[in-house]
Every structure is written in C-alpha cells, then in structure tokens.
C-alpha cells in the first residue's frame, strides 16, 4: 500500500471511485488550477457538466470568499450528490446572481429523483438573517426553484470555544464539587452542541439514502461547520470512509483541501487573534467517537487515531495541518519540507487500527439524542492531574487486569501441561521399546543352544542351554 501520506487524497482517483466522469452530469473543472478563482479551494473541483468556467467565475462572486457550490460526494447507486459552498451574498437588498442560481439549478437537475435539492444551512435562522445586515450576506430565498432550505441551528465557533473551555475547566478542577458534577457538565452545553451536529448530519444522510435527494451544505464561510457536517454524513453513508485509508482521504478532502483554517483556529505560531481560535476539529472528532461507540465494529480506525488527530492539529508536528489552505501550503513548500501526518499513521497502522473491525457495506444511522451521548474521558481528562489514575480505584480496570493475569497464568499452565504430556508420551515410548527388546532377548535365550558336550560311552550327547 501507498505509504506517502501526501497522496492520501488524489482528486482524480476519488472522482474516478465515485464515477463522476462516467455520470455525464458532472465534470472535473480546472477553473481553480492556480488557486485564482478561490484561494481556499483545491485546484481540481467537480461541477455540473452544463456550467461553463466563465459562468463559475461569475457565480463565485455571489458566494462568501468565492466558495461556489462544488461536488464532494456522489452516490454509486443513484444520482444523489453532496455539495458544499459558502453562504450567498444577497445582502439587505436581496441581490440576485443568475449564474449562481443556474449553478444551483444544474445541481438539482443532475439528480433524476423527484425530491427537492436540500440546501442545508448549518446556522440558526436568526444568525443567517443577521448576516444580511452585518455582512451583506444571508441565505438562499425563493429565487432558487426546486430547493428546500433547512436550518440546523448549530452554534458558531465562539459558542463552541466557550463551551469547550468551560468543560475542560470542570474536568481538571479539584474534586470538591462532585454533587453538582452532572449539572456543571450539562451547563457547558457541549453534549448539546454534539447532538445538533449529529442530528443535522443524520438528517442529510437520510435525505440522500432514503429519498435519493441531493444536498448543498454551507454555513457562513464554509470552512468550520460545513466540513463537520459534510464529513460526518459521508461517514454515515459511505463505508469506504470508515476504513483506515478512507478516513485519511476524508480528512484530507473535507478539512485540508477545502481550506479549514488550521493556523487561525488553533493559534499556530502564537497567533494573537484568540477570538478566532476554536476547537472545531476536536468537536468533530468527538462526534465521530460517539458514532464509533454506538457501532464498535463498523470503523477500521480506533479512538487513538482521533486523539492523535486532535493533538497534531494543535502542535504543528506535521505539515498536513499547517497554514489555512492548500494554496498557502503549496506556496510554503510544505509538501517538500515536512512530513505528512498520514505517513506517520500508515507507518504505525497497528496503533490506530480497530482489532474488532468488521466490514459492513451499508449506511449507519447513529442515535443523536443527548441521553445517548457520553463524555469522552480520553479527550477531556487527558491533562487532569487532580484525579488519581483510573487503575487506582476503577473496579472494572482492576478486574480486567486480574482476568488478564489469570488468563496468562492459565496459558502458561497449559503450556507446562503440554510439555509434561509430551515427556510422558516419550517416556512411555522408551519404556515400550525397552520391554519389547527385553522380551525378544529372553525368547532368543530359551531357543538357542550355547554349547554341545559329546560322550564317549555309547555316543550319547547332552545339550546345555543358556
């Protein structure tokens, strides 16, 4: 298998796997070949076959940061697709852009299903409306025919940062407030944020699988909540992304190539703009862990890989998570001067592979209710010094360790018994051979004369036997 992590996501290979070129309704566009159209997008993108590149350049003017609608996943059994983009820019005066409307209409037309094109806006409705005033942006309105707008109500990076910080403080605090522990955790709203993400992702997966509908996902800019939802619903739908290689491809595609701002969100290089920092990828990894907990054999990756991913996004050890976009990494020569995170993972696959993995070639739909979600101890208690090690007090770990010791002792005893049985069998064999030889010797002694004595008187003879 390929060990170069920089080849974890090769657009042409992924488009071929999804059958984009063979569909007739989609094509691979080079409109962003030198990152001139959108500097936070990859160089190769898939767009409807009926749209021309000059129209794409007109359409991107109507999308936040030029992030126009592009395909990220296509079904192999239907015409359903998942696309992503930034928010439109109608502003307070409800401006329109005919090229953008045509691009969205062609996304809808590429699917033969009678279902509408679901435009998934990750934001609360009130936030989307506020953007029409403060950012001259907004959301798709009635001019997009055949579409249904769905608001998921997922909070922005500032609410997530506040929630995460508060939860970390609670988990690392001294044990002097245990009576209010569950209430304190609830008041951080962390599990509520996870539930919203999982609900929205599952809803998209159900639209795609059950209705065979297409979906266009965006939030405000399209590089935080959008990759969270897009990657989660693809994990639910496509079993390939639940394999070790497929998971690497998904992270590289949705997070790295489509311009998640690693440097800004995780304060690389001592960034002073702390208001832009937020644990976006930790929140996504927690959602993946929640799904893995419900489907323990469905993923080839384990939680150790999720924890490593969260940590490496912060510490700048690998080039995969440096800078804010693929274009910035290309300009800095990251691919030549650093090592990919996935090279490290593939060189140590045994550490990150789920030993209980069983391939399941179908979708999975996790429970999304808060009561079915759990606090990820490995993430939130990893830096906790106020609590004793779990092995000091946890009965489960103690019993598990005792069972392992007993099993090891049993195996050693079984090996000793096997050796003793082998020695006994060998001794019996030697004993049988000795008895057989002794019996043969006695038999020969009774039948074989050892000497003959002649007599002079009358010719009589006597025979002496051994």
Selected catalytic residue, list 38, 83, 171, 219: 219
Q: What angle do CA 289, 295, 300 make, to 5 degrees?
A: 75
Catalytic residue at 219? yes
Two tokens at 452?
A: 């003959």
Annotated catalytic residues are 219
């Amino acid at each position: 298998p390929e060990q170069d992590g920089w080849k974890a996501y090769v657009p042409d290979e992924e488009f071929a796997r999804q059958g984009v070129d063979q569909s007739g309704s989609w094509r691979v566009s080079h409109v962003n070949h030198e990152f001139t159209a959108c500097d936070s997008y990859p160089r190769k993108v898939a767009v409807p076959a009926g749209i021309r590149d000059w129209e794409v350049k007109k359409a991107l003017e109507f999308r936040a940061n030029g992030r126009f609608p592009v395909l990220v996943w296509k079904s192999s059994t239907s015409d359903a697709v998942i696309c992503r983009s930034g928010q439109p820019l109608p502003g307070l005066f409800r401006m329109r852009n005919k090229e953008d409307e045509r691009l969205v209409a062609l996304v809808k037309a590429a699917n033969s299903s009678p279902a509408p094109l679901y435009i998934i806006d990750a934001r609360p409705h009130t936030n989307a409306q506020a953007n029409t005033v403060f950012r001259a942006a907004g959301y798709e309105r009635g001019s997009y025919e055949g579409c249904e707008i769905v608001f998921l109500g997922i909070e922005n990076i500032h609410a997530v940062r506040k929630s995460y910080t508060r939860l970390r403080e609670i988990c690392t605090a001294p044990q002097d407030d245990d009576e209010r522990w569950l209430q304190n955790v609830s008041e951080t709203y962390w599990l509520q944020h996870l539930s919203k993400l999982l609900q929205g992702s599952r809803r998209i997966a159900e639209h795609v699988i059950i209705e065979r509908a297409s979906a266009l996902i965006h939030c405000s800019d399209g590089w935080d909540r959008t990759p969270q939802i897009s990657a989660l619903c693809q994990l639910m739908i496509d079993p390939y992304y639940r394999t070790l290689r497929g998971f690497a491809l998904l992270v590289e595609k949705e997070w790295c190539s489509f311009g998640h701002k690693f440097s800004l969100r995780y304060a690389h290089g001592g960034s002073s703009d702390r208001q832009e920092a937020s644990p976006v990828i930790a929140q996504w990894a927690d959602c993946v862990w929640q799904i893995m907990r419900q489907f323990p054999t469905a993923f080839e990756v384990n939680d150790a890989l999720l924890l490593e991913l969260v940590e490496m996004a912060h510490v700048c050890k690998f080039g995969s998570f440096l800078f804010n976009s693929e274009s910035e990494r290309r300009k800095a020569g990251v691919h030549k001067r650093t090592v990919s995170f996935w090279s490290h993972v593939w060189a140590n696959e045994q550490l990150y592979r789920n030993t209980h993995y069983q391939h399941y070639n179908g979708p999975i739909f996790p429970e999304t209710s808060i009561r079915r979600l759990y606090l990820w101890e490995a993430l939130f208690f990893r830096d906790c010094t106020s609590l004793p090690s779990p092995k000091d007090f946890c009965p489960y770990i103690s019993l598990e360790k005792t069972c392992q010791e007993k099993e090891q002792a049993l195996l050693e005893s079984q090996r000793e018994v096997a050796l003793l049985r082998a020695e006994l069998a060998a001794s019996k064999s030697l004993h049988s051979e000795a008895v057989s030889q002794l019996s043969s010797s006695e038999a020969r002694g009774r039948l074989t004369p050892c000497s003959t004595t002649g007599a002079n008187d009358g010719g009589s003879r006597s025979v002496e036997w051994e």
